[in-house]
């Protein structure tokens, strides 16, 4: 069984290391979150990804508090919701998230969506820069930002986002965006890494899975890792939580990576970032 020491880390543009494979809690009810996060920590995960809008920061905090794991060995991410964008509102929302999590600082704070029609993400970023300088956020990042949003955010900013967390899976490979990330020194983190199951029956993936004696989900997670993506699969089933971590004992060949590259088809399971406000 993989332990946390077997999870590789990615060094971000501020020198902070993030585990490349983490545990997401999107759509997990608060009362179920504590057990799910406890299962993940027990399996060896050390990176936990939540958000204000998920309504389960309290459940995450309870699991962290009772885990017995030293705070410095954990990597905790949460996100600012759209309605709380703006300088003062961001600072207030961060205080609320931190209180629910029961922590003194978070490892990463992300602007959840650019919400371009609100036009507040630059002011919001200034607030997050302040939280970083105050030592309450170790790493500042964004989520669902398109290339134009990133370039506008960075113009005149003190910090370049360390991470952009976006929908990314074999059906939506985000090649253009990943190239922009590489150019700007931003790490790519994938949400919905399995397309909520939509790619797991693709013949290319099931064939590769059979060849390696792995599940289709394990093959897709391995594909992400070999591309260099940070990835945060979500599950509430202890067995699946463990399986998602068991992806470090095999390697996809170049031909297998190419076969998966051929599955890109603009398949979105979530909203388009230009349109969600």
Q: Is residue 19 a contact partner of residue 43, using CB atoms and an 8 Å limit?
A: no
Active-site option among 45, 54, 109, 121: 54
Tell me the CB-side half-sphere exposure of residue 197, using CA atoms within 13 A: 3
Binding site annotation covers 212?
A: no
Q: Is residue 48 a contact partner of residue 37, using CB atoms and an 8 Å limit?
A: yes
Active site residue 54: yes
Alpha carbons 46 and 85: distance in angstroms, whole number? 28
Tell me which residue has tokens 């027990």.
42
| SS3 call for 110 | strand
Tell me the CB-side half-sphere exposure of residue 57, using CA atoms within 13 A: 22
Residue 133: CB atoms within 10 A of its CB come to 11
What number of helices (H) and strands (E) belong to the chain?
A: 10, 10
Q: 87-101 and 121-133 are packed helices; what angle lies between their axes, rounded to 10 degrees?
A: 50
Q: Is 257 exposed, middle or buried (0-12, 13-18, 19+ CB in 10 A)?
A: middle
Alpha carbons 82 and 158: distance in angstroms, whole number? 22
Strands 106-111 and 230-231 turn out to be unpaired
Binding positions for substrate: 112
User: Catalytic residue positions?
Assistant: 54
Binding positions: 112
């Amino acid at each position: 069984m993989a332990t946390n020491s077997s999870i590789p880390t990615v060094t971000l543009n501020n020198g902070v290391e993030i585990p490349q494979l983490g545990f997401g809690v999107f759509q997990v009810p608060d009362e179920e979150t504590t057990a799910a996060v406890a299962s993940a920590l027990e399996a060896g995960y050390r990176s936990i990804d939540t958000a204000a809008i998920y309504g389960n920061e309290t459940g995450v905090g309870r699991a962290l508090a009772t885990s017995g794991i030293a705070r410095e060995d954990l990597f905790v991410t949460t996100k600012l919701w759209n309605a709380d964008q703006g300088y003062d509102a961001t600072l207030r929302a961060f205080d609320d998230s931190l209180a629910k999590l029961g922590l003194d600082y978070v490892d990463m704070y992300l602007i959840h969506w650019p919400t371009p029609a609100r036009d507040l993400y630059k002011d919001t970023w200034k607030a997050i820069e302040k939280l970083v300088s105050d030592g309450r956020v170790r790493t500042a990042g964004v989520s669902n930002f398109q290339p134009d949003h990133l370039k506008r955010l960075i113009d005149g900013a003190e910090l370049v986002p360390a991470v952009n967390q976006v929908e990314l899976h074999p059906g939506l490979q985000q090649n253009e965006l990943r190239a922009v990330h590489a150019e700007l020194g931003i790490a790519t983190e994938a949400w919905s890494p399995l397309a909520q199951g939509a790619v797991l029956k693709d013949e290319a993936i099931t064939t590769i899975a059979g060849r390696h004696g792995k599940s289709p989900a394990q093959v897709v997670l391995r594909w992400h890792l070999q591309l260099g993506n940070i990835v945060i699969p979500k599950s509430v089933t202890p067995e699946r939580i463990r399986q998602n971590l068991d992806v470090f004992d095999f390697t996809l060949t170049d031909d297998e990576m190419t076969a998966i590259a051929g599955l890109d088809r603009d398949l979105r399971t979530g909203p388009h970032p230009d349109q969600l406000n």
